[in-house]
């Protein structure tokens, strides 16, 4: 069974190809971001379901419980609702969401297993980091804290740990970006 995002996307890629028009219209951009957000939340829900079936799942939950990414309780908000909240309050670009998915996969490649206890925090830090890397309009960390529901102290600790885990490498090549974009657009669920 796969435990990282790229493998999960590849496994579910279908051969249909759809062309989407590119537009600078803000409403279209937001709608596109919500569409991509829906795809990402479906990928993550599927991946969490697969991960739960792994023999190492409970062991990893316990091992990762002391990490700043892990919550003591499962968040009550669904991944989909959480992601929509972030999109709504940040006006994130579609491309930035795809970059955040790449960052999330990089975390998984560092022996982090996505679980119900860490997915929300990992998702938000990947999204906020991708916003800071890719967007022209960036808000202060206090604003992001209000959007995602963590204290500034927690946020800074999570951000620092995230950057350390990915060796501060935020750059995403065009080839890598296009590969994830393609897999995401052709994901079947």
Confidence of residue 3 (pLDDT cuts 50, 70, 90): low
pLDDT tens digits for range 133-164:
999 999 999 999 999 999 999 999 999 999 99
Confidence of residue 21 (pLDDT cuts 50, 70, 90): very low
- Give the separation between CA 154 and CA 45, rounded to whole angstroms: 25
Q: Check residues 17 and 167 and name the one with the higher pLDDT.
A: 167
Confidence of residue 181 (pLDDT cuts 50, 70, 90): very high
> What are the structural domains of the chain?
5-185 (1.10.472.10)
Q: What is the pTM of this model?
A: 0.83
Q: What is the mean pLDDT of residues 93-100?
A: 95
Confidence of residue 22 (pLDDT cuts 50, 70, 90): very low
User: Among 6-15, 28-37, 59-68, 118-127, whose mean pLDDT is lowest?
Assistant: 6-15
Contacts of 130 (CB under 8 A, 6+ apart): 92, 96, 97, 99, 100, 103, 170
pLDDT at 17: 35
Q: Is 56 exposed, middle or buried (0-12, 13-18, 19+ CB in 10 A)?
A: exposed
pLDDT at 9: 65
pLDDT tens digits for range 51-82:
999 999 999 999 999 999 999 899 999 999 99
Question: What is the SS3 assignment for 48?
Answer: helix
pLDDT at 54: 94
């Amino acid at each position: 069974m796969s435990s990282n995002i790229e493998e999960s996307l590849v496994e579910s890629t279908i051969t249909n190809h759809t062309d989407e028009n590119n537009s600078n219209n803000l409403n279209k951009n937001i709608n596109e971001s919500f569409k991509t957000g829906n795809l990402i939340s479906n990928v993550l829900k599927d991946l969490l379901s697969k991960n739960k079936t792994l023999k190492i799942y409970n062991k990893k939950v316990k091992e990762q419980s002391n990490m700043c990414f892990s919550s003591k309780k499962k968040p009550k908000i669904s991944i989909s609702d959480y992601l929509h909240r972030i999109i709504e309050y940040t006006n994130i670009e579609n491309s930035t969401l795809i970059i955040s998915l790449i960052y999330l996969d990089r975390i998984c490649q560092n022996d982090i297993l996505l679980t119900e206890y860490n997915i929300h925090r990992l998702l938000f830090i990947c999204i906020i980091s991708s916003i800071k890397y890719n967007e022209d309009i960036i808000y202060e960390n206090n604003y992001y804290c209000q959007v995602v529901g963590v204290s500034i102290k927690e946020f800074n600790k999570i951000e620092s740990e995230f950057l350390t885990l990915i060796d501060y490498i935020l750059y995403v090549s065009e080839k890598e970006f296009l590969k994830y974009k393609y897999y995401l657009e052709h994901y079947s669920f």
